[in-house]
Amino acid sequence: MRRLLLLALLWLAAACSSAAPPQPPTAQPPAPSADRPVPARPAPTPPPPARPTPPLPAVSGERATVRTVIDGDTLTVLNARGEFVVRLIGIDAPERGDERRPPECYHEEATRILADLAPPGSVVFLERDVSETDRYGRLLRYVWVERAGRWILVNEELVRRGAAVAREYPPDTRYAGRLAAAERVARSVGEGLWGACTGAPATVPAPPPSPSSAGCDPSYPDICVPPPPPDLDCRDIPVRRFRVLPTDPHWFDTDRDGVGCESG
C-alpha cells in the first residue's frame, strides 16, 4: 500500500511539470530597413558670431594696456616696450596734492572719470604729437579708447565732462581746437569742475612775453617759471606766495586769488 502511494505521488509531480506553459521568447527591436529611415540627430546650435573688432583710429601710434590710474590726466601703461607713465597732453586736471598742500577741487572726481574711461586692464591706443616725453620721462600722448564700436579721444572726453581744462602746450597742439571747443561746451552748462569749483581756472589769453622775459611765462611776472611743457606743480619750484596772472598754465593759483603756491 505504501509503495502504491509513493508511485502515485511521483506520477502526479511529473504531470504538473509537463503542464507548465512555455516562456515566450524575448522581443528584439526590429532591424532598420531600407524603407524606414533612421531619425537624424538635431544639428548642434552654432556659436554666436564673434564681435567684430573696430578698426584702429586713423592715427599713428601703438596699443597699450592700462596698469594704473594716477590722477585725472596721468596713468601707467604696459606696451611692447615695457611699462611707462603717460601724461595726457593738451589738458590739465586738478592736482592730487601732497603732504604740503591739500588736493585741488574736483581731483577725486577727475581721477574717477579717467578710471571709468580707461580702467586698469583696458586696451588703449597711444598717439604721439611732436614731443616724446617731458623732463620727468613721462610719455606725452593722446589716449584713444574703444567704446561701442568707435574710438573716443580720452583727452577730449575728460574736458567735455569737466574733469580737466584745455591747455595748449606747444608744440603739441594737434587737437587744440577740439579740446577748446569741448571746454566751451562744458563751461556753458557748468559741467564737472565748472559747476563744482568756484575757483575754476580762467582761460583768458595771456599777453605775449616781452623780450626781457624770454623763456619765462608771463603769468608769473615776479619770478621766472618756464611755460609748459612740462606741467609743473608747486613742489617743483622753491618760491612761495608769488603774483599770478591769467592764464596760469601751471595752475599754481588754485583758489584764483592772484597768489600762487600759498601753502608749504
Identify the CA nearest to 73 among candidates 231, 228, 261, 205. 231
Q: Which of 95, 156, 183, 191 is catalytic?
A: 95
- Is the distance from CB of 214 to CB of 226 less than 8 angstroms? no
Q: Which of 96, 128, 138, 187 is catalytic?
A: 138
In the chain, the largest separation of any two C-alpha atoms, in whole Å, equals: 156
138 is catalytic: yes
What is d(CA 72, CA 197) in angstroms, rounded to the nearest whole number?
A: 15
Q: Which residues contact 200 (CB under 8 A, 6 or more apart)?
A: 165, 187, 193, 194, 256
Cα gap 38→159, rounded to integer Å: 68
* Residue numbers annotated as active site: 87, 95, 138
